[in-house]
Amino acid sequence: MAVQSMTGYGKSEYVGQGYSITVELRTVNNRFLEFQIRSSKNVLPLEAKLKQELGKHIARGSVSCHIQYDSEGPSGAGLVLNEPVFRAYAAVLAEIQKRLGAGSVVNVSDLLKVPELFAASEGSEPLELVAGRVMPIFEKACRDLVAMRENEGAVLARDLETRIRAFYPGLEKVKTLVPTRQKEYVAKMRARVQELVGDAALSEDRLLTEIGLMAERLDVTEEIVRLEAHLGHFLETMANHKGPGKRLGFLLQEMLREVNTLGTKSQFPDMQHLCVSWKEELEIIREQIQNIE
């Protein structure tokens, strides 16, 4: 399955048969799917339907949508009577005439001076007609958006795979170092204890028990196994899961947890230096993941 970046741009246009439509979509990263639209008034009632269509193509991201719809037919711009305002003024005028008497006259020129009595109309096309024209163009813009997000996602996926696979040589090095370093540590501890005790008698069993307990606390075998498992799950998720961003973020947290534990438990400078470089790499990966759907 293709990895999608949450950054993208899509555009689709139509001109002909007395109308023109331009749809532009821009997306940036977001934890959820957010949709903001700028358009003419006759398209705004389609907002819910447009978001529903968008949701068929992408799952996450902050989406800015601009739709320019122009029609050349008789349904073009004009003036319409603002019915609520008209009724309110008519009631007031009726009351005035009642009080002043039948001889009072209201001229049309007086009505034209009434604020907001008329409203501009962008057209009287049925919503079904507007939807039938806009939705196919919007769907094409969505496909164009997805194509760009997938192209950028492919670049991100290749980079992430390279970075994740770079952990494996270090892990193999650690697997080799751990037994050797533990033996060195036991020998060092034995010599140190003997130096402190001097000529005093010390049970060999007691000595081995104490050294064994300390060595066990410093054992990092479980952390190595878990880290290797998380690396494998990370690669598998990128390859086989749709919208893997959230899952990758969780796996990254678990990898960072294991690396931190490795660095804390290890008493060996070469392993500590390796853990520091791993944490730096995981931070770069974290920034990359934030832009994956």
CB atoms within 10 A of CB 234: 24
pLDDT per position as a tens digit, 173-208 = 888 877 776 677 767 777 776 676 665 555 666 666
113/58 same-domain check: no
* Local confidence band at 80 (pLDDT 50, 70, 90 cut-offs): low
Mean pLDDT of 245-251: 95
Q: What average pLDDT score do residues 17-25 get? A: 94
Is residue 208 in a domain?
yes
Answer with the residue of higher pLDDT: 155 or 41.
155
**20 and 111 assigned to the same domain:** no
Nearest to 69 by CA among 40, 26, 37: 40
Domain assignment present for 2: no
Same domain assignment for residues 147 and 222: no
Return the pLDDT at 21: 96
CA 176, CA 2: separation in Å to the nearest integer? 37
263 and 235 in one domain?
A: yes
User: What pTM value is reported for the model?
Assistant: 0.70
Task: Indicate whether 141 pLDDT > 60.
Answer: yes
Do both 190 and 262 map to the same domain?
A: yes
The answer to whether the beta carbons of residues 5 and 292 sit under 8 Å apart is: yes
Q: Is residue 175 part of a domain?
A: yes
Q: Using a pLDDT cut of 70, give the percent of the chain over it.
A: 79
First vs last C-alpha separation in the chain: 12
